[in-house]
Amino acid sequence: MPLKYLALGDSYTIGEAVAPEQSFPFQAVEKLRTLGIVIDDPQIVAQTGWTTDELMQAIENEDLPGKYDLVSLLIGVNNQYRGYSKGNYRVEFEELLQSALSFADNRSERLYVVSIPDWGVTPFAQQSGRNVSEISADIASFNSINREEALKAGVTYIDITPGSRKAGEDPTLLAQDGLHPSGEMYSQWADLLISAIKSKN
């Protein structure tokens, strides 16, 4: 039976502004296939703009089948963008973690939490009128929460944030919208996910 992969998140999971096959879940699957692993296309529950509560509601509305061999969770940038409470983020992220764990058959080694990229370095942020240093500091605060909760749950944490900051100097890492990652950056995220998976096998 082919492996099954569930990717939960927001615009960074669906690959906003690039072709779907350039998103990090699809690129991860292709990279796994080159390693001889038989795996279905990823099932994605994600949408641009979603916050933690909206992802929670979408999961409830989806009729997700059974268990998955691989689950990734990347959520929180829109909580930060909208100025939502960090305390509320912690509560809802923890709930999402437990939900994601259940999809992973309560096997912590199957779940991978991905950090929030730092959009403060992007042209979009620079033109937004916001303080870019405050954006980056705020993202770091949200990431400290999802890291703490991931480690508390005993799941793997993949820190893509330092690499995301390279987009401030390398435009090839950004999509044409000047905000979201390019396929090249998503490829780097997929490599980090693959490395984490390989370390467990």
Token pair for residue 94?
A: 């923890």
For 127-178, the pLDDT digits (tens) are 999 999 999 999 999 999 999 999 999 999 999 999 999 999 999 999 999 9
* Residue-level pLDDT at 201: 67
Work out the number of other CB atoms within 10 angstroms of the CB of residue 140: 14
Domains and CATH numbers, the chain: 5-198 (3.40.50.1110)
- Average pLDDT value for residue range 18-35: 97
For 179-192, the pLDDT digits (tens) are 999 999 999 999 99
Assign 200 a pLDDT band (cuts: 50, 70, 90). Answer: confident
Nearest residue to 23 via CA among 54, 47, 59: 47
Rounded to an integer, what distance in angstroms lies between the CA atom of residue 4 and that of residue 54?
Answer: 23
Contacts of 3 (CB under 8 A, 6+ apart): 32, 37, 38, 39, 40, 69, 70
pTM to 2 decimals? 0.97
For 49-92, the pLDDT digits (tens) are 999 999 999 999 998 877 999 999 999 999 999 999 999 999 99
Nearest residue to 155 via CA among 59, 31, 68, 72: 72
- Average pLDDT value for residue range 107-115: 97
